[in-house]
Structure 1
Amino acid sequence: MPGPEHIRGHLDELRSRILRVAAIVGAVAVFAMTFHAEPFGAWGVTLYYPVPDPLDNIAAQVTAHMRHDLVPPGVQLIQTSPGQAFFAQVYVAALLALLAAMPAVARECVAFLRPALREREVRAGRAILLPSVGLFAGGCAMAYLLVIPYILEFLYRYGESAGLLTFLNVIDFVVFVLQFLLAFGISFQLPLAMYAVSASGAVDSGYWLRNARYAVIA
């Protein structure tokens, strides 16, 4: 049975890895809150370079794009108390930071668990680093392009049919969007979880096929 020193060593390692991930997330979030993405053309392609601008920052630009792409016609996005727009941008910056830090999160998780894993499991963990980012981004894209616009438009039609003025609080809007983005991004990790469990030898690949009907019902 591991002694207190052994457990303390694992806890210290876990803390250091969490701090590294938190530092990356914090750095990206601060960058998104303090810099503006300025467009410029090069070789017929629109590129961006960062310019210091805490007011019209990257998070504010993303929020403006979300309003343009997702808020139904006739619905006004409003701020009803001081600071709501600021905190909405903080939430957006946190999501951008989470997306940027996903490779680091996966790498730190694999590195922390490596002593307890077999070589085959370590290789499987490394193999899912990049796909995890792609699948998370794919889930977010599906929610952003296909799901959220139709849900918001469907729900706000009830207010229009009743002759109501339709407004949407910026905090409620951002939280609603982020919840869907995270839910779809995480749900798209299911294939990787299935691959990791199969690669570890806990179940064979045919197990998923035999029980696919339960996944459909869920």
Structure 2
Amino acid sequence: MSELQGIYAHLAELRSRIIRIVIALGIIITFMLTFKLAPVVVGGITLYYPMPEPLHNMAAQITNYMKETLVPQNVQLIQTAPGQAFYAQVYIAALVGLVVSMPIIVRELTSFIKPALSESEVHAVRSIALPAIALFVTGAIFAYLTVIPFMLDFLYQYGESSGLVTFLNVMDFVTFVLQFLLAFGVAFQLPLIMYAATASGMTDVQFWRRNIRYAFVILVIVGAIVTPDGSGVTMWFISGPMIGLYVVGMFLLERRERNTRRLKSEDMPKNK
């Protein structure tokens, strides 16, 4: 009976923490869909402040910015059914809400599993939270500035070479962009995943070098699966950075182990 009560207590705590996360996400999404950023010049510096504007909200501003910076020339971004533009804005607001509320998500999940972890493990989880967010944002920015513009331009050059007028559905466009932003944000977590697997004892440092050939093959396959075309060109914009991150993570782990061994060897004469 006491075990059942303990399980119910854990489920109730998990439910309350999930509710807090959902509320945080809901507030950010609602804010993105209700307010817009209006410019104001103060002392020669342009600042932005939120003001209520549901139709021309921040998600719509982001959609328009994406259209201006990512959609190739001579490609028309269109809406083919009622509500598509609104749903596209919801997707964008959800992604922004996920990134902005990540500290809350990490805090709630860490607090939930804290009783099952040691103090050092709790500290390790919290210490990688900020790097994880930074790597996610870095991956998304890298994808937005380099990979997505190239892929869109490359894929729509086929229509231009045939003298066709290309139309791009706003939902397809936003889904395509967010898919790659998420993919690169997650892919850039690879060094942290390698660190966590090594620090937890699941693998050793030498594991990553021993299996580097298999890792490269897997990462190339992942790039081929994620990219929408079969040209074999665009997949390297995903596989290449992931291979680079794998190599960087491997070298950092090996350097960390060498430093640890050096410190231990320096401490041994003192202990004697």
Question: TM bucket by the smaller chain?
Answer: over 0.9
Partner of residue 57, structure 2: 57
Shift in Å at residue 211 of structure 1? Answer: 2.6
Aligned equivalents of 1:160, 1:145: Cα separation in 2:
22
Shift in Å at residue 159 of structure 1? Answer: 1.1
8 A contact 1:76–1:168 mirrored in 2? yes
User: Which shows bigger deviation, 156-165 or 178-187?
Assistant: 156-165
Change (3 A) 1:208 1:47: farther
Aligned equivalents of 1:208, 1:176: Cα separation in 2:
32
Aligned equivalents of 1:87, 1:124: Cα separation in 2:
38
Shift in Å at residue 73 of structure 1? Answer: 0.5
1:194 alignment partner, SS class: helix
The correspondence of residues 21-40 of structure 1 with structure 2, limited to 5 A, is 21-40=21-40
2:101 alignment partner, SS class: helix
Change (3 A) 1:208 1:118: farther
Q: Tell me: higher relative CO, structure 1 or 2? Use CA pairs within 8 A at least 6 residues apart.
A: 1
8 A contact 1:72–1:153 mirrored in 2? yes
Change (3 A) 1:131 1:114: same
The correspondence of residues 133-148 of structure 1 with structure 2, limited to 5 A, is 133-148=133-148
1:82 alignment partner, SS class: coil
Aligned equivalents of 1:108, 1:99: Cα separation in 2:
15
Q: Encode CA deviations 1:67-117: one digit per residue, 9 max, x unaligned.
A: 011100100001111111111111111111011111111222222111112
TM-score (norm 2): 0.76
TM-score (norm 1): 0.94
Q: Which amino acid aligns with 1:142?
A: F
| Fraction of identical pairs, as percent | 57
Q: 5+ unaligned residues in a row in structure 2: which ranges? A: 219-272
Aligned equivalents of 1:193, 1:113: Cα separation in 2:
18
8 A contact 1:120–1:199 mirrored in 2? no
Aligned equivalents of 2:102, 2:23: Cα separation in 1:
13
The correspondence of residues 6-155 of structure 1 with structure 2, limited to 5 A, is 6-42=6-42, 44-155=44-155
User: Which shows bigger deviation, 57-66 or 184-193?
Assistant: 184-193
Shift in Å at residue 135 of structure 1? Answer: 0.6
Report which of the two structures shows the higher radius of gyration computed on alpha carbons.
2
8 A contact 1:102–1:133 mirrored in 2? yes
